Structure 1
Amino acid sequence: MAPSAAPATANAPPAFPAFTRSQKVFTLLGAVLGLLLAALDQTIVATAGPAIQADLRIPASLYPWLTTSYFVASTTMVPVWGKLSDLLGRRAVLAAGILIFLAGSFLCGVARSTVALILFRAVQGLGSAALFTAALAVVADLFEPRERGKYQGLFGAMFGLSSVVGPLAGGFITDHLGWHWVFFINLPVGAVALALVLSRMPRLKPQRVSRGGLDLVGAFTLAVALVPLLLALSLGQTDGGDWAWTSWRILGLFALSAVGLVAFLWAERRAPEPLLDLTLFRLRAFSAGNAAVFIVGGAFLSGIVFLPLFMVNVVGLSATRSGLTVMPLTLGVVAGNVLSGQLVSRVGRYKALLLGSLVLLMAGFAVMAFTLTPDSTQAEVTAKMVLVGLGLGPSIPLYTMAIQNAVPPDQIGVGTAAATFFRQLGMTLGVALLGTVFASTLSSELEARMAQATSALPDSVKAEVTRAAPGVSGEGGPTGQVFRADEVKARVRAEFDAERRRAETTAAPEARAKVDADERQALAAVDAADRALKMAFTRGVSAVYHVALFIAGAALLVTLFLPEQHLRRKRRRIESRASAPEQ
């Protein structure tokens, strides 16, 4: 039995195919493993990055491309794979994505040059896009609308878990096996996922009348629109240089992206089988849902990317311990995913849950924006991050489910790809925007506060304090170390001890007294500089949460326009114990 062509929002429930329990279990397991591969790779490689850089002698200018190449390729291909999954079926796309991803992983593991590794990371990104789109679309194929929430929640929880497990696994594998195994470890897991997909997964191909093949012109113009935009957002810098936001390189990329966008819209209006059917935006649930996903994506990484800078430079934690501070946020995201999915399956409505989660998210951002101080402790910040995580969690599964339910069954792949695409695009834009806010606030605060704190210092001591102070990026001074007041004081004392010994040779008590007074003044200035630095970082991170609060408020307003769709109750049906016909 094939899915009905009627939209999921129709009053008459469409007939869903009857799959056996084993088909559902093994299909979900294969899809989850595939999704976990792609999600883990976004975090596990970041931990191995320093070891990779040292081994291959990667220049600092090329180091960001290890992540940028993967992310640009993945985001660009999401709409393409989504359309292919509607044309060819989920099984074919999921299997192809796993094969491409594993090929990229193997090639990354054996890479011996920087250029080769960057190219093979892009190959991984091409495969990961298929895993993201097909895996999430599988839920809509297997389950009726009311049942989808709890399974979408489980898939969404994979993203949260990957942000915890990825760095820990990446560090362990790099330390004990070498960075190559960060990529090789994907091979056995991917082989299991591929075996499950090929042997136990139905085709899951929607019944549709194709008006043509893949829209190649649309795919090309979309790449012209997206690749320059993502490169500009990923490489743009606030502290000048060749990639400053106002440089000809960044402005040229934005201009090329605008030309590509116009060409893409022109091509889609004329394509017999468009890559993205623009008429879907006439559906309020589709347009409002994707707009909300894009806006929430802008705030999604704000609590993860910038908080460790606060924990290292203000609270004084190590990089490893600062990463653990984000774990409660991640666990909150996982809990929000799972609980919201279960609640939607029970009550059959999701808009109230989405609005409630956004109110909770705004509360969490407000707490972080207005209560962070230089005296905040790790326990205090950790407790506050749980609130942010619980507010973020429901946004992953519920918006995706709303969009899937809004589109006709034969365009589930396109709808799922759109949600994934707009979320990733919003995250990229959000990190660029919030990074600019953080850097500009930190720079202005450091300039004003450090100048005041060190104004009365001798030139030699002022140079010592300035040399030890972190840069605008928050990553430390030239040595890569954060400002440690005790270490700076020890060096200042050593300098004054040498001067005191020289003063003792003059046998002039007043000379020694002057050295003692200058030392006390210098040590007090180091304390003042330390406080100024902590206050500057606090203001910078607080500014990020202020903007994130505004973004969450915008998402709340857009979600108000999202139409409520009452999800059907699950019909009583005895599923065949025999193998169901492949769809």
Structure 2
Amino acid sequence: MAPSAAPTSPDAAPAAFPAFTRAQKVFTMLGALLGLLLAALDQTIVATAGPAIQADLGISPALYPWLTTSYLVASTMMVPVWGKLSDLLGRRAVLAAGIVVFLLGSFLCGVSRSTVSLVLFRAVQGLGSAALFTGALSVVADLFPPRERGKYQGLFGAMFGLSSVVGPLAGGFITDRLGWHWVFFINLPVGTVALALVLLRMPKLRPEGVSRGKLDVTGAVLLALAVVPLLLALSLGRGSDQVAHGGGWAWGSWQVLGMFALAAVGTALFIREERRAREPLLDLKLFRQRTFGLGNAAVFIIGAVFLSGVVFLPLFMVNVVGLSATHSGLTLTPLTLGVVAGNVLSGQLVSRLGRYKGLMLGSLVLLMVGFTVMGFTLTPDSTQAEVTVKMVLVGVGLGPSIPLYTLAIQNSVSPQQIGVATSAATFFRQLGMTLGVALMGAVFATTLSHELGTRVASATEGLPPKLRAELVSEVPGAGGEGGAARTAFHAEEVKQRVRAELEAERQRVKASDSAVAGVDVQEKRALEAVDRTDRALKESFTRAVKAVYRCAILVALLAFLVTLRLPEQPLQRGRVRTPAK
């Protein structure tokens, strides 16, 4: 088959498509959506409960990131494995297994009493979540012909967006009222309902024509050797200043370089194994198809800016706009609604039009415009309302990226390879997200460190050394914390402490008018320095956040150029064949 050609039979002609009853479709979609909701909500709920977990278990700052890292690494590593298993065993078996593993991990996390056990059981959750992500998106391709998939895949994309709104609110409520253990226990009743729907009302959804081959265990082990060190290096790599304050290893350290080298060796061995395997975990021949290859490349690139456009905004809202951490998170709600709207609307349009490339390119143009607005118009005086309106455009641009590219990739392969194709898209999206956050984090931290180093030094120049040191210590990131800083600089509180300290000095020297006058001058200079430092801080964070969005413009442009070369294959409506089991 030529690289740009449409798939051969059974996809070249209007595909025969299995008939499902309305009840089968409804209950299957409900089970898949609930399963996906479990995995999507868990990430945001646990992130909100993180500080309470850290305080209760006494988790050190160096180990704290592992609560997320272990989950992410395990999930990304298992995505291709679950995808292949879903083609061999059917979606029902994989979804059920994924829910069971996820619920087991949730229960064990809830009863954990130590940092090590919690980190390990978070990895168990990640193993199960990979099946939920892959199986849920594959189910749509089994239930509906290509022309109708877009509007239903948009629902799954919208679920991701809604979870980012509901998750932090639910996480805060559950942690405050019931304790952090219940952010894991709450998964059990929801997961039980999802498991019942999957086991009792969902057909097997096993593609016809797929032999009951064996899983490529060697390929799975080598994939882990390639992916785990890579994700650990990207997640734990730090700038030299950040290492001293937030743990991790410097990018040039032997630990990080060794993990990158191990990942390179693992990747080479995995490719060699997949070329020789009779039943490969990921059929590398699929990348010869331009739609599959370029589609996954675009998914990887867009993944690099998917989280980057969101992760650093709360830092701006806390340190520049002056919001609390809770209210800064709520600022993202309109952006999330934009993502949901983009998901649903693009899915409906592609089902009506039967074409997806124009919608992809249009969404990327909107995304670049949104990043441009953020990268060039943010100022230290920006308000919450202003930033919120601007971020809606970014959300609408990001929204179509999940359903449309998944649809294009699924449409480029035969029904027997839907699971592998879906898992490939999920795998490359998650890799892109991890790489993007690491790279953009380096841009943010480097810019912030440089700006603070010059601006704060200038703002506090001329103050007594002790007062200057105290003032600098109050500035988030000035001591090398970079992007990890979340506590705002409260100028009025600092001024009150300055006044109190100098009032004590004034009382000590009150017998001397000249000495009191000197303290008055010192107080005036100190209060002016606080104002200058506050302004310097806001300007530094503004420049650092703008640098992230300006880099994101270039990444989105690269995704646009790759998508421009993406062949568009017709979306068939499908013909009904024998009822499915």
Q: TM-score, normalised by structure 1?
A: 0.95
Matched, 1:378 2:384: yes
Give the C-alpha shift of residue 367 in structure 1.
0.4
Distance 1:495 1:55, change over 3 A: closer
Separation of aligned partners in 2, 1:36 and 1:145: 24
Q: Does 1:286 align with 2:287?
A: no
2:403, 2:153 → 1: CA distance? 5
2:403 maps to which of 393, 397, 407: 397
User: How far 1:119 sits from its partner (Å)?
Assistant: 1.0
Counterpart residue type for residue 339 of structure 2: V
Q: Would you say the 8 A contact 2:210–2:416 is kept in 1?
A: no
Select the residue among 513, 518, 523 that pairs with 1:519.
Answer: 523
- Residue type of the alignment partner of 1:425: L
* Matching residue within 520, 532, 537 for 1:533: 537
Partner of residue 62, structure 1: 63
2:134 equivalent in structure 1:
133
Counterpart residue identity of residue 68, structure 2: T
The residue type equivalent to 1:172 in the other structure is F
Match of 2:441 in 1: 435
Q: How many angstroms does 1:522 deviate by?
A: 1.7
Which secondary structure state, in structure 1, belongs to the residue aligned with residue 45 of structure 2? helix
The question of whether the paired residues in 2 share the 8 Å contact of 1:290 and 1:419 is answered with yes
Question: Which of these residues, 423, 447, 450, is aligned with residue 417 of structure 1?
Answer: 423
CA distances 1:56-76 after superposition (whole Å, capped 9, x unpaired): 222222111111111100000
Tell me, in whole angstroms, the C-alpha distance in 2 between the residues paired with 1:33 and 1:46.
20
Counterpart Cα distance in 1 of 2:8 and 2:454:
59
Give, in whole Å, the separation in 2 of the partners of 1:227 and 1:236: 14
Paired residues of 1:489 and 1:526 also in contact (CA < 8 A): yes
Q: Secondary structure at the match of 1:16?
A: strand
Write the distance in 2 (CA, Å) between the matches of 1:379 and 1:205: 49
Letter in 2 for 1:344: V
* Number of residue equivalences: 569
Equivalent runs, 1:105-144 vs 2, <5 Å = 105-144=106-145
**Match status 1:368 vs 2:365:** no
Q: 1:300-344 CA distances to partner (integer Å, 9 max, x unpaired)?
A: 011211000000001100000000111111110000000000000
Q: CA deviation at 1:483?
A: 1.2
The answer to whether structure 1 residue 255 and structure 2 residue 256 are counterparts is no
- The 5-angstrom pairing of residues 348-359 of structure 1 reads 348-359=354-365
Letter in 2 for 1:132: F
5 Å-filtered alignment, 1:64-213, equals 64-210=65-211, 212-213=213-214
- Aligned equivalents of 2:418, 2:252: Cα separation in 1: 40
Superposed, 1:276-315 pairs within 5 Å as 276-315=282-321
Quote the sequence identity (%): 73
Aligned mate of 1:567, from 549, 571, 574: 571
CA contact (8 A) 1:137 1:416 kept: yes
Q: CA deviation at 1:10?
A: 4.3
Query: Which deviates the most, 120-129 or 465-474?
Result: 465-474
**Gap change, CA 1:193 and 1:132, over 3 Å in 2:** same
* Contact kept in structure 2, 1:81 and 1:133, CA below 8 Å: yes
2:505 equivalent to 1:499: yes
Amino acid at match of 1:423: R
In 1, the alpha carbon distance for the partners of 2:484 and 2:44 equals: 22
Structure 2 residue identity aligned to 1:473: E
Distance in 2 (CA, whole Å) between partners of 1:503 and 1:175 is: 49
Change (3 A) 1:291 1:525: same
SS in 1 for 2:42: helix
SS of 2:498's equivalent? helix
- In the superposition, relative to structure 1, how do residues 476 and 548 fare at CA in structure 2: closer, same or farther (>3 Å)? closer
Secondary structure class of the residue paired with 1:111:
coil
Partner of residue 446 from structure 1, selected from 428, 439, 452? 452
When residues 558 and 8 of structure 1 are mapped into structure 2, their CA distance, relative to the original with a 3 A threshold, is farther
Aligned-pair distance for 1:570? Answer: 6.2
CA offset at residue 492 of structure 1?
1.4
* C-alpha deviation, 1:475, in angstroms: 7.0
Look up the equivalent residue of 1:53 and give its one-letter code: Q
Amino acid at match of 1:541: V
Residue aligning to 2:3: none
What is the Cα deviation at residue 38 of structure 1? 0.7
1:450·1:529 contact (CA, 8 Å) conserved in 2? yes
Residue 459 (structure 1) aligned with residue 470 (structure 2): no
Q: Which runs of 5+ in 1 are unaligned?
A: none
Query: Structure 2 residue aligned with 1:473, among 481, 484, 491?
Result: 481
Mapped to 1, the partners of 2:188 and 2:494 lie a distance apart of 48
CA contact (8 A) 2:15 2:572 kept: no
How far did 1:118 drift? 1.0
What are the within-5 Å matches in structure 2 for residues 298-337 of structure 1? 298-337=304-343
User: What is the rounded CA distance, in whole Å, between the counterparts of 1:120 and 1:502 in structure 2?
Assistant: 58
> Could you list the per-position Cα deviations for residues 434-469 of structure 1 after superposition, in whole angstroms to 9, with x for gaps in the alignment?
000000000000000011111111223212211211
- The aligned amino acid for 1:67 is T
The AA in structure 2 aligned to 1:568 is Q
Could you tell which deviates more after superposition, 75-84 or 109-118? 109-118
Aligned counterparts of 1:426 and 1:461: Cα–Cα separation in 2: 45
Relative to 1, partners in 2 of residues 1:448 and 1:34: Cα closer, same or farther, differing over 3 Å?
same
Name 1:542's counterpart in structure 2. 546
Deviation at 1:209, TM superposition (A): 4.5
CA contact (8 A) 1:476 1:482 kept: no
Contact 2:319 2:487 in 1 (8 A): no
CA distance in 2, matches of 1:174, 1:512: 51
Could you tell me how far 1:6 is from its partner in structure 2? 6.4
Q: By how many angstroms is 1:7 displaced?
A: 4.5
Secondary structure at the residue paired with 2:250?
coil
Q: Helix, strand or coil for the counterpart of 1:140?
A: helix
Distance (Å, rounded) in 2 between the aligned partners of 1:414 and 1:79: 7
Contact persistence 2:67–2:118 (CA under 8 A) = yes
8 Å contact kept, 1:292–1:559 = yes
Paired amino acid for 1:330: T
Distance 1:476 1:37 in 2: 28
Cα-to-partner distance string for 1:528-563 (whole Å, 9 max, x where unaligned)? 111001100001111110111111011000000111
Distance 1:406 1:92 in 2: 25
Structure-2 separation of matches of 1:476 and 1:267:
40
Out of 348, 351, 359, the position equivalent to 1:345 is 351
Tell me, yes or no, if the aligned pair for 2:321 and 2:383 is still in contact at 8 Å: yes
Q: Does 1:488 align with 2:494?
A: yes
* Structure 1 stretch displaced more, 512-521 or 406-415: 512-521
Normalising by structure 2, we get a TM-score of: 0.95
**Unaligned residue ranges in structure 2 (runs of 5+):** 1-5
